[in-house]
Structure 1
Amino acid sequence: MSDRTDPLLPSLSIHNSTLPTDRQQCRMTRSIEGSRAKNAKRPPTAPNCECVEETAIERAKRQCHQWTATPSEVQYLGQLRLIFGQYSCKTFQWMLENDVGYVKYLVDKHLKEKAGGMKIRDEWLKDYLVMYHHVCVIFPSIKSS
């Protein structure tokens, strides 16, 4: 990973950064930090995680204020925290930097559940994760090696 100009945007690990940006692909393997976090003992409750959409968005925006007074949508979405699963309480940005494969799994599973008309737990958060993944992984201008 390299230095990045915006600390609020993810720094993705790219297979071959010499390719044109529209042909580059993210590494889908978990980082060392991701492996440590996955295997770490987590408390039964997540004190730093917000389960209410409005509160979570406001908290994410406040976290951005140390870098910018007016965070963009992609910047504050990156500061949202997962409230379930193996990376509970990790930010979206952290997850893309450390286990983009897991993010892809969550996004694919969520889209399949929505298409099937299923009742989805924490749907609002998963919808934001889909949006964040789409903007950060699909659009090459945010990628860095």
Structure 2
Amino acid sequence: MLNRLTSTLDFQGQALSLRAERQRLIASNIANADTPGYVARDIDFAQALREATGSIPPARTVNTSQPGHIAGSAGARAEPNLLYATPSQTNLDRNTVDMDRERANFVDNSVKVEATLRFINADVRTMLEAIKGQ
């Protein structure tokens, strides 16, 4: 039973971490809504969660154009596969942030963060009840 609870908490923790990263990306998109040439970014949450939990191998590969090029820096944050937003309408400044889409994504992700926290809370309560029952 302990292994099951641990794996559930680990899964929910991975999901929460990815949700936080997605929230950061959406907030960055909103903050750059008026930046000329800014391209909105997002992640494929389901794909990133499968990679984070080991269900599928990571699709990230680093290619270098020349021998001796640095493949990555030691302190760099490993980012999930980032996607570019497709512009819903043409802009003269080539900015692809659609504020309606970003607001909807922000609220949707916030609700899912709250749900994930509730799942974690329920799992911890279950664990505490099991401990107290012995």
TM-score in same-fold range (> 0.5): no
Question: Given the two structures, how large is their TM-score scaled by the length of structure 2?
Answer: 0.28
Q: Which has the higher helix share?
A: 2
Kindly name which structure, 1 or 2, has the bigger radius of gyration based on alpha carbons: 2
Q: Which has the higher strand share?
A: 2
